[in-house]
A = this chain, B = another copy of it.
């Protein structure tokens, strides 16, 4: 019979401690975690501390290009990185359904450990809750993160000026469409892969290439269009995107057209979008292209004086289309 997680693994008692000492400690091993207290004592370099959180409810748990564990680590790492922080420490909160396969929890844990190692962060504190069958769909993972602000962190949205360039590190829509295909069992799109990755190296390359970076974000839920709207919302400038410049993989475009999705609103999990001063844009694109994750980096648009507060798309045929934030939700549980 398959070994499963039971309610007693979440009672804070004997089985919780066994789960920690037999699974989480060996996988995540680090001094803070080994101290065995309910809180972790951090070693931090000088600099202002940055703090973030994300819960992950993605379904399926395992998908082409990643799984909930890799996503949970990289999602929080990226939220810190785009603030201009060095991601350093993560927490990990599991909520598990009674009867969940132990082997799947092991797989997710190993995946988190590997992603953390790759991103250069440590998982230093955690929590495990188990709820009865039907009270949660399998497994949810919260990761919160702590980092330290780099001295060259961007000044933020308020520093954006008309004429600035909008730069994207690569193709859009890969994560969302890979999840969708995984969920629906679409077998045709064997090449559809989530872009799930830590974008810390891209952030470092961009910041090293130029002091002209105004703001950075990872365009996740809601897609690129929603993220750009967060920049323009209630601001005295607009953003014009050039559809011809937008990198979209053929297979992503194909599935989107088939199903009626717009890649501009589909989630990404390994992309960096940033706004840079006009004179620094080329250098930043060049720097991003120096990394495997940024090969297809491109200037995709400009900050404009016209249409303040708005994001609009100059289409392939020369028309114009307003891009609002995502409204409905055609792809729930994407992250």
Contacts and interface: CB of A to CB of B under 8 A. Distances in A.
A212 interface: no
A14 B325 contact: yes
Nearest to A83: B39
A131 interface: yes
Given A12-B221, A135-B137, A146 B51 contact: yes
Interface stretch (A63-71, A86-94, A293-301): A86-94
A220 to B, nearest CB: 7
A19 B329 CA distance: 15
Q: How many copies does the complex hold?
A: 2
A142 B52 CA distance: 12
Interface in A149-164: 149, 156
A329 B10 contact: yes
A135 B221 contact: no
B38 A83 contact: yes
Contacts of A145: 39
Nearest to A51: B40
Interface stretch (A120-128, A180-188, A283-291): A120-128
A37 interface: yes
Most chain B CB inside 10 Å of its own CB: which residue of A82, A125, A147: A125
Interface string A5-30: 01110111111110000000000000
Given A8-B328, A329-B10, A332-B132, A40 B52 contact: yes
B41 A50 contact: yes
A43 B149 CA distance: 12
18 contacts: A11-B222, A14-B327, A16-B222, A38-B52, A38-B218, A39-B85, A42-B49, A44-B48, A51-B144, A53-B92, A53-B142, A53-B144, A55-B93, A57-B131, A57-B136, A134-B137, A135-B333, A146-B146
A186 to B, nearest CB: 20
Contacts of A16: 221-222
A326 interface: yes
A130 interface: yes
A43 B50 CA distance: 9
Interface residues of A, number: 81
B83 A51 contact: no
A312 interface: no
Contacts of A114: none
Contacts of A267: 12
Contacts of A51: 39-40, 42, 89, 91, 124-125, 144, 146
Interface in A64-114: 79-80, 82-83, 85, 89, 91-95
A217 interface: yes
B14 A324 contact: yes
Interface in A261-288: 265, 267
Given A7-B329, A36-B230, A53-B93, 9 more contacts: A10-B332, A12-B267, A12-B326, A13-B226, A39-B51, A41-B83, A49-B49, A55-B95, A129-B333
A251 interface: no
